[in-house]
């Protein structure tokens, strides 16, 4: 019998490997940017067309490659970064697996121009189907200029799997941002379809953080900095007011490598306990530096997950450092180091800051306005008014009265019938003048003709708003012009998202106009959003929209409507007056589908007399 096992040809093996490393344009972007960083570049330009589907080009001024290396770079497991197994435990470069260029060459048309400083002429290499098809000397600047065209041109299944340009662009920006945050000493620019998306000058970590998060963060970052023999942590956490409803703006780097770690996220989130509402997420950009032998970065093909030699220590340290920072700047209401003995002994926690540390802290503008005490234990408690401010930041949503009691422009509310009964639905009819009872500030108990119903105020209102916004898509919703248009400054990613939904927002009553880089002017808001809150309302909306955006079942508009309804609904826990409860119930039963929310949760439960009586019979 003939043998059936054979070795796969290189181009097929590479294509299979590419599946792990290059999943979408953003993964190629990450690999190419990291190569430029590893080459010691001080300037890195990323150029893309059609969100990277047509072209991804990275131009760097790093050390370049000689003619032989320029060709070998595309072979599998070709790397200049490690040569022995010991090296694997001392990695200081971003790359080391030697897979990226081989993978890219397997799934795109690649060309490369590169020159080293000591060479007069550079090398041009063209690769097709993993094979070098052309090399020639070429005049070019020192550094490397690599471009890959038509990603997945030879793997249609993968190409078809790519998402919309705006979705892929978002991923690219995410990767770009991560690399740029890790290396603020490098100039980075990004151009999409000939348009300058950003150019970030080299600068400090703080400056880069502001580039990424937006100017509005100037006064909203708290520096974190602790040093021990074992590891160093630096970076920033956002003040509590910058907490978001979703996990955006959370960056964690280990030895300048962006990593995802639910475990460490937990550590940081806990440091914010009591400072931000539950279910909201603090923003942070934190850098840990640790001896490379203490981490294993080779546990994942894209190196976004790592293993620490001792992750409990890291957990406790990160948490202590963040708590310390928050306390130092009078943000934590009180200090509670309920930590391992290990951590209690860390210098950062035991010893007061040195004069040198104190001076460098004091000279930074970030700390202006904060108490300059150097020991967390002596920091005065945060003032009541300040704490009130954070609280109101989260509760400044439309109130029940604002949302409900506007019968004038609420055309959807049907006036109750002359019979004194609300519109009957599924056999339910409620007495209009009945006294309603609110239970636990969450449920409304309403007598019905043959029993009673128990209404969940938040879910009921969600249904009401949902139908209202849905109808608005046919007939545009009323807008109230803002007296004083509000300027909204967003992060790049949020700005792109907002652009994407700006027209749909217009239909439900938001009049928003682009206003220069990542800024928008809010000219008008839906008639039922209380003015003064427009900024919060939109920021929250964006956060919630992100939650939904992975869900492909629904149209953009449907997602938006659901977000709006959820966001604007009165909340459980809010006390309601008789009039508000009546209006809510009236509106609920005027809905086409009053009994469930858009997501299928019941809005009320019907207790029929017969059923209740049954419960009481022996």
Contact residues: ligand ADP, CB under 6 A: 31, 35-36, 38-39, 60, 62-65, 73, 78-81, 95-102, 144
User: Which lies closer to ligand ADP via its Cβ, residue 34 or residue 489?
Assistant: 34
Give the shortest CB-154-to-Mg ion separation in angstroms: 22
Residue 177 binds Mg ion (CB under 5 A): no
Q: Which does 144 bind (CB under 5 to 8 A by kind): ligand ADP, Mg ion, none?
A: ligand ADP
> Helix, strand, or coil here: 559?
helix
**Environment class of 86 (CB within 10 Å of its CB; exposed 0-12, middle 13-18, buried 19+):** exposed
User: Which lies closer to ligand ADP via its Cβ, residue 101 or residue 212?
Assistant: 101
C-alpha dist (Å) from residue 8 to 68, 511, 611: 25, 58, 71
Q: Which does 184 bind (CB under 5 to 8 A by kind): ligand ADP, Mg ion, none?
A: none
Give the shortest CB-44-to-ligand ADP separation in angstroms: 9
Q: Which does 462 bind (CB under 5 to 8 A by kind): ligand ADP, Mg ion, none?
A: none
Structure tokens at 488: 């909204």
Pattern 19-58, Mg ion, x by CB under 5 A: ----------------x-----------------------
CB 128 within 8 A of CB 30: no
Residues 6+ apart with CB under 8 A from 409: 478, 527, 528
Residue 133 CA from chain centroid, whole number: 42
Give the shortest CB-359-to-Mg ion separation in angstroms: 40
Give the shortest CB-143-to-ligand ADP separation in angstroms: 7
Give the shortest CB-340-to-Mg ion separation in angstroms: 38
CB 190 within 8 A of CB 48: yes
Measuring CA to CA, which residue among 374, 349, 378 is closest to residue 362?
A: 374
User: Which lies closer to ligand ADP via its Cβ, residue 112 or residue 488?
Assistant: 112
Between CA 433 and CA 440, with CA 438 as vertex, the angle to 5 degrees is 175
* Cα–Cα dist 260/252, whole Å: 7
CB 160 within 8 A of CB 128: no
Q: Which does 149 bind (CB under 5 to 8 A by kind): Mg ion, ligand ADP, none?
A: none
The stretch near Mg ion (CB under 5 A) out of 94-102, 226-234, 333-341, 602-610 is: 94-102
In the region spanning residues 245 to 274, those forming contacts with Mg ion, defined by CB under 5 A, are: none
Residues 6+ apart with CB under 8 A from 537: 397, 398, 525, 529, 567, 568
C-alpha dist (Å) from residue 58 to 44, 48, 128, 139, 530: 7, 9, 18, 18, 47
Q: Which does 226 bind (CB under 5 to 8 A by kind): Mg ion, ligand ADP, none?
A: none
Residue 574 binds Mg ion (CB under 5 A): no
If one counts every other C-beta atom within 10 angstroms of the C-beta of residue 157, the result is: 7
Size of the site for Mg ion (CB under 5 A): 3
Q: Which does 374 bind (CB under 5 to 8 A by kind): Mg ion, ligand ADP, none?
A: none
Give the shortest CB-254-to-ligand ADP separation in angstroms: 18
User: Which lies closer to Mg ion via its Cβ, residue 57 or residue 361?
Assistant: 57
If one counts every other C-beta atom within 10 angstroms of the C-beta of residue 260, the result is: 13
User: Which lies closer to ligand ADP via its Cβ, residue 64 or residue 238?
Assistant: 64
Residue 110 binds Mg ion (CB under 5 A): no
Give the shortest CB-318-to-ligand ADP separation in angstroms: 28
**Environment class of 519 (CB within 10 Å of its CB; exposed 0-12, middle 13-18, buried 19+):** middle
User: Which lies closer to Mg ion via its Cβ, residue 100 or residue 569?
Assistant: 100
User: Which lies closer to Mg ion via its Cβ, residue 37 or residue 316?
Assistant: 37
Between CA 564 and CA 573, with CA 569 as vertex, the angle to 5 degrees is 145
Which residue's Cβ lies closest to ligand ADP?
95
Give the shortest CB-382-to-ligand ADP separation in angstroms: 47
* Cα–Cα dist 266/492, whole Å: 26
Which residue stretches of 183-248 are H helix?
A: 205-213
**Tally: H helices and E strands in the chain:** 20, 22
Residue 62 binds Mg ion (CB under 5 A): no
Give the shortest CB-157-to-ligand ADP separation in angstroms: 24
* Cα–Cα dist 603/596, whole Å: 5
Q: Which does 520 bind (CB under 5 to 8 A by kind): Mg ion, ligand ADP, none?
A: none
Give the shortest CB-48-to-ligand ADP separation in angstroms: 16
The stretch near Mg ion (CB under 5 A) out of 99-107, 476-484, 559-567, 581-589 is: 99-107
Which residue's Cβ lies closest to Mg ion?
95
User: Which lies closer to ligand ADP via its Cβ, residue 125 or residue 349?
Assistant: 125
Give the shortest CB-200-to-ligand ADP separation in angstroms: 19
Between CA 398 and CA 401, with CA 400 as vertex, the angle to 5 degrees is 100
User: Which lies closer to ligand ADP via its Cβ, residue 72 or residue 280?
Assistant: 72
Measuring CA to CA, which residue among 76, 91, 89, 87 is closest to residue 21?
A: 76
Q: What is the CA radius of gyration of the chain?
A: 29
User: Which lies closer to Mg ion via its Cβ, residue 100 or residue 512?
Assistant: 100
Q: Which does 65 bind (CB under 5 to 8 A by kind): Mg ion, ligand ADP, none?
A: ligand ADP
User: Which lies closer to Mg ion via its Cβ, residue 19 or residue 485?
Assistant: 19
C-alpha dist (Å) from residue 385 to 381, 382, 467: 11, 8, 39
- Per the DSSP assignment, residues forming a β-bridge with 198 are 190
User: Which lies closer to ligand ADP via its Cβ, residue 71 or residue 280?
Assistant: 71
* Cα–Cα dist 116/280, whole Å: 49
Residue 348 binds Mg ion (CB under 5 A): no
User: Which lies closer to ligand ADP via its Cβ, residue 116 or residue 328?
Assistant: 116
Give the shortest CB-554-to-ligand ADP separation in angstroms: 39
Contact positions toward Mg ion, by CB under 5 A? 35, 95, 100
């Amino acid at each position: 019998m003939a043998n059936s096992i054979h070795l796969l040809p290189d181009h097929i093996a590479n294509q299979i490997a590419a599946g792990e490393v290059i999943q979408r344009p953003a993964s190629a972007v990450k690999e190419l940017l990291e190569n430029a960083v590893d080459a010691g570049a001080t300037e890195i330009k990323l150029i893309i067309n059609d969100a990277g589907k047509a072209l991804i080009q990275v131009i760097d001024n790093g050390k370049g490659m000689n003619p032989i290396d320029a060709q070998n770079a595309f072979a599998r497991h070709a790397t200049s970064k490690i040569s022995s197994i010991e090296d694997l435990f001392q990695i200081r470069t971003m790359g080391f697996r030697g897979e990226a260029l081989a993978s890219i060459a397997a799934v795109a048309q690649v060309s490369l121009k590169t020159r080293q400083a000591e060479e007069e002429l550079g090398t041009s290499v063209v690769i097709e189907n993993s094979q070098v098809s052309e090399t020639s000397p070429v005049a070019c600047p020192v550094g490397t200029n690599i471009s890959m065209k038509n990603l997945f041109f030879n793997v249609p299944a993968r190409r078809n799997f790519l998402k919309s340009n705006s979705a892929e662009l978002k991923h690219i920006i995410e990767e770009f941002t991560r690399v740029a945050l890790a290396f603020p000493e490098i100039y980075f620019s990004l151009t999409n379809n000939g348009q300058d998306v950003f150019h970030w000058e080299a600068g400090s970590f703080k400056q880069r953080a502001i580039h990424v998060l937006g100017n509005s963060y100037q006064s909203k970052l708290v520096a974190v900095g602790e040093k021990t023999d074992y590891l160093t942590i630096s970076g920033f956490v956002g003040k509590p007011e910058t907490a978001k409803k979703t996990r955006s703006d959370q960056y964690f780097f280990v030895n300048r490598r962006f990593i995802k770690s639910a475990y460490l996220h937990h550590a940081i989130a806990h440091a914010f306990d009591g400072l931000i509402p539950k279910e909201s997420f603090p923003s942070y950009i934190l850098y840990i530096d640790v001896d490379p032998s203490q981490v294993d970065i080779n546990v994942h093909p894209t190196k976004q997950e790592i293993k620490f030699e001792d992750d409990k220590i890291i957990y406790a340290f990160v948490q202590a450092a963040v708590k310390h920072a928050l306390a130092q700047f009078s943000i934590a209401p009180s200090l509670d180091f309920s930590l391992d003995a290990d951590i209690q002994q860390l210098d950062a926690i035991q010893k007061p800051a040195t004069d040198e540390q104190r001076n460098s802290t004091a000279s930074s503008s970030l700390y202006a306005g904060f108490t300059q005490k150097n020991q967390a234990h002596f920091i005065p408690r945060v003032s009541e008014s300040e704490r009130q401010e954070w609280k109101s930041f989260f509760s400044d949503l439309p109130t029940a009265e604002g949302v409900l009691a506007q019968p004038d422009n609420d055309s959807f509310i049907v006036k109750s019938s002359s019979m004194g009964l609300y519109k009957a639905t599924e056999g339910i009819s409620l007495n209009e003048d009945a006294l309603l009872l609110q239970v636990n500030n969450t449920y409304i108990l309403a007598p019905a003709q043959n029993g009673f119903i128990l209404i969940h105020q938040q879910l009921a209102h969600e249904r009401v708003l949902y139908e209202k916004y849905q109808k608005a898509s046919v007939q545009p919703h009323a807008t109230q012009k803002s007296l004083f248009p509000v300027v909204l400054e967003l992060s790049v990613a949020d700005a792109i998202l907002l652009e994407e939904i700006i027209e749909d927002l217009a239909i439900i009553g938001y009049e928003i106009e682009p206003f220069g880089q990542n800024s928008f002017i809010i000219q008008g808001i839906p008639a039922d959003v209380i003015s003064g809150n427009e900024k919060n309302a939109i920021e929250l909306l964006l956060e919630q929209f992100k939650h939904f955006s992975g869900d492909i079942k629904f149209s953009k508009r449907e997602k938006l409507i659901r977000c709006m309804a959820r966001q604007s609904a009165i909340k459980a826990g809010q006390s309601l007056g008789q009039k508000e409860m009546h209006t809510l119930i009236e509106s609920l039963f005027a809905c086409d589908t009053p009994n469930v929310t858009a997501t299928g949760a019941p809005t009320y439960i019907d207790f029929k007399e017969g059923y209740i009586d049954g419960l009481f019979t022996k």
